[in-house]
Amino acid sequence: MANNHLTSESKQLATWYLTFAAILFGAQLLFGLIAAIQYVMPGFLYGILDFSIARILHINALVVWMVFAMFGSVYWLLPDETGIETIGIKVGKLAYWVFVAAIVVVVLVFLLIQVGPASDTTIWFITEGREYIEAPRWADIGIVVVALTFVANLFLTGMKGKQTGIVTVLMADMIAFAGLYLAGMFFTDNISVDQYWWWWVIHLWVEATWEVFVGAIAAYGLITMIGAHRKVVEMWLWIEVAMLFGSGILGMGHHYFWIGTPEYWWEIGALFSALEPLPLVAMFVHVLYDWGKTQGAQNANGDETSVITNKPAFIWFVLNAFGNFLGAGVWGFFHTLPQINLYTHGTQFTSAHGHLAFFGAYATILVGMMYLAVQGKNGIKVMKNTKTSIWAVSMITGGVMGMTVALTIAGYVQVIVSRAQMGATWAAYFDGQSGVWFTQAMDWRLIMGVITFLGFLLLAKDLLTTGKNPVHER
């Protein structure tokens, strides 16, 4: 790596993690496109790469690229926060290669072998067949080992170096994140018990530990990019942790309405998860407020230049604040009450929420971290936008927003026809699917998906080339 400005090995490892994350991000979008085409043309790759396989790769690539980017982000910020080099970085680097190798093998098995006979061998070596965590059990064990290595790196470094509020939150959060994965590793004949624990992984990841992670990263970003005061930022962070975990942990009840679990979950799920958007509003206010405050203070001193030291990253961070609130908060609240969820559960409504929430809450901030890494690696003092970075962020955001709106509309007709009117039978399902609103929405979803993918290509180009661009201040 020529012209590498990184002196810290931890940051070096971070760039590896973020690079592989970006590659998987591309794979996620590619398989998403295949699945979107299959909604419009059901014969596309039928019997070769069926919808189920395209979708497994779509959602697993999503989860895995985010985990990679999250690990990368932590390795990136650790030296800045603790003031020391990450401890055990050699083992961390080894774990990285183990992780990459495991993911490549799992993807190849999903692509080439796809399904197996109904036996334990299939569960161990081909697929576990549980949405989002289909990875076979051998890979589960590998992932746990890698995650524990990462957590060990984080804890040893956090305990020896300066233990800031951000590092404290990350330490607590990441151990819960790794531990929760264990809840998704066993087999049971009882599908209610199966789904009960399955949600411990899925929900307590994306609606609790990942959200707190985002809070910590946003706090770090505000300090590095606009020079916000640590005291203010960390107070906000603690408030966010209290609100996120306070609402998110028992908010899990909104997944326990219809899976065989007792009726009392209606009440717990509805009223805790109804509060889940509140911390997301708080985060949004907090990011914009801190920006205005530091910029205002600088202007008052007669300095009219921008306080932002990394324009493209900051755009993605602000998008995160807004997208998290809109995608996870508003779109989630749409269908979180049981009286509504009875009809929307398992329709494209969920899918609309999933697309905007994963993008708004996680993809945005992690792409922001990629830009921060590009800045650090190239020794840039103030990083500016390029035409490509503006086009990339506009097309990706516009594309995802368009897909979300299309899927939401597809959800209307499913809820009204398939569910409320006809009661969710086989015929009801296809009646809903053949409605004009549904079929047109699927066309639009595909168009918007293509726009998102083109935006991704621009993003990849920008991340690879902007570091050498002479517009930045060095």
- With CB under 8 A as the contact rule, the residue among 2, 3, 262, 387 that binds other proteins is 262
Phi and psi dihedrals of 473, rounded to 5?
Answer: -85, 130
Nearer to other proteins, 225 or 244 (CB): 244
315 with 377: CB under 8 angstroms?
A: no
Maximal C-alpha separation, the chain: 72
Q: Which of residues 141-200 bind other proteins (CB under 8 A)?
A: 165, 187-196, 198
112 belongs to the binding site for other proteins (CB under 8 A): no
Residue 383 phi/psi, 5-degree rounding, is -95, 130
- Rounded Cα–Cα distance for residues 428 and 405 (Å): 23
Nearest to 29 by CA among 457, 465, 406: 457
Q: Which residue, 204 or 459, is less far from other proteins as judged by CB? A: 204
User: Does 56 interact with other proteins (rule: CB under 8 A)?
Assistant: yes
Q: DSSP strand E in 167-242: where?
A: none
Q: Which stretch binds other proteins (CB under 8 A): 73-81, 82-90, 147-155, 264-272?
A: 264-272
Nearer Cβ to other proteins, position 148 or 239? 239
Interface residue with other proteins, options 4, 299, 425, 465 (CB under 8 A): 425
Contact 472, 406 (CB under 8 A): no
210 binds other proteins (CB under 8 A): no
Total Cβ atoms within 10 A of residue 304: 8
> Which region among 90-98, 252-260, 322-330, 449-457 touches other proteins (by CB under 8 A)?
252-260
By CB under 8 A, tell whether 249 contacts other proteins. Answer: yes
Does 335 participate in binding other proteins (rule CB under 8 A)?
no
Per CB under 8 A, which region of 156-164, 242-250, 305-313, 464-472 contacts other proteins? 242-250
CB of 266 to other proteins, least distance (A): 7
Instruction: Determine the interface stretch with other proteins among 88-96, 329-337, 423-431, 452-460 (rule: CB under 8 A).
Output: 423-431
State in angstroms the smallest separation of the CB of 425 from other proteins: 5
The answer to whether 187 and 111 have CB atoms below 8 angstroms apart is: no
Among 244, 364, 375, 246, residue whose Cα is nearest residue 308? 375
Neighbours of 111 (CB within 10 A): 14
| Binder of other proteins out of 117, 301, 302, 470 (CB under 8 A) | 117
For CA atoms 285, 286, 292, 293, the dihedral sign is positive
Amino acid at 400: V
CA–CA separation, 219 vs 370, rounded Å? Answer: 16
**CB-wise, 130 or 311, nearer to other proteins?**
130
Query: Quick one: tokens of 76?
Result: 């990136």
Among positions 266-325, residues that touch other proteins (CB under 8 A) are 266-268, 270-272
- Which window, 21-29, 233-241, 296-304, 466-474, contacts other proteins (CB under 8 A)? 233-241
Least distance (Å) between residue 409 CB and other proteins: 14
Q: Residue 455 to residues 335, 338, 393: CA-CA distances in angstroms?
A: 30, 37, 7
Q: How far is the CB of 262 from other proteins (least distance, A)?
A: 5
Rounded Cα–Cα distance for residues 349 and 411 (Å): 5
Binding mask 7-46 for other proteins (x = CB under 8 A): ----------------------------x--xx--xx--x
Is residue 398 near other proteins by the rule CB under 8 A? Answer: no
Query: Do 280 and 326 contact (CB within 8 A), yes or no?
Result: no
Q: Considering the complex, what minimum distance in angstroms separates the CB of residue 456 from other proteins?
A: 23
Token look-up 């809109």 returns: 326
Q: Does 369 bind other proteins (CB under 8 A)?
A: no
Distance CA 129, CA 137 (A): 11
What type of residue sits at position 463?
L
Rg, Å, the chain Cα set: 22
Tokens standing for residue 22: 């970006």
Work out which of 433, 444, 450, 461 binds other proteins, going by CB under 8 A: 433
Binding range to other proteins, per CB under 8 A, among 297-305, 348-356, 360-368, 443-451 = 348-356
Size of the site for other proteins (CB under 8 A): 96
252, 365, 367, 392: residue in contact with other proteins (rule CB under 8 A): 252
Instruction: Decide if residue 464 touches other proteins (CB under 8 A).
Output: no
Task: Pick the stretch among 265-273, 292-300, 451-459, 464-472 that binds other proteins (CB under 8 A).
Answer: 265-273
Q: Is 422 in the site for other proteins (CB under 8 A)?
A: yes
Q: Which residues are within 8 A (CB) of 66 and not within 5 positions of it... i.e. 6 or more apart? A: 21, 210, 358, 362, 363, 366
449: Cβ–Cβ under 8 A, 6 or more apart, which residues?
29, 32, 33, 36, 399, 403
Regarding 81 and contact with other proteins (CB under 8 A), the answer is: no
Cβ closest to other proteins, residue 274 vs residue 390: 274
Please identify, among the stretches 2-10, 417-425, 452-460, 465-473, the one whose residues bind other proteins according to the rule CB under 8 A: 417-425
